Amino acid sequence: MTSTEFFNRWIVDERTGERRLTTYKLTRADAEKAFPGAEADLKTLEIRHLPGAGKAPPNSRPGREWS
């Protein structure tokens, strides 16, 4: 398991020009792709324990392993 930080991000709305908080929490990598230069709102920190890359979460599906 890997601990991953998720935050809501401060972005500038392209339509209104106003600074606002994203609806969803994003990882640093995902935020950089979606909103380059967005700032993390440190008050919204959420740490999630995720399986390593390429591994299915335990008990994610009954029966055989995914192919």
Tokens matching residue 9? 């991000």
Tokens matching residue 47? 């740490």
Question: In the chain, pLDDT over 90 holds for what percent of residues?
Answer: 64
Average pLDDT, the chain: 86
The pLDDT of residue 39 is above 90: yes
The pLDDT of residue 65 is above 90: no
30: left (phi over 0), alpha (psi -120 to 50) or beta: alpha
- Domain-wise residue ranges, the chain: 2-49
Q: With a threshold of 0.95, does the pTM exceed it?
A: no
* 27 CB neighbour count, 10 Å cutoff: 14
- Alpha carbon distance 20, 51 (integer Å): 31
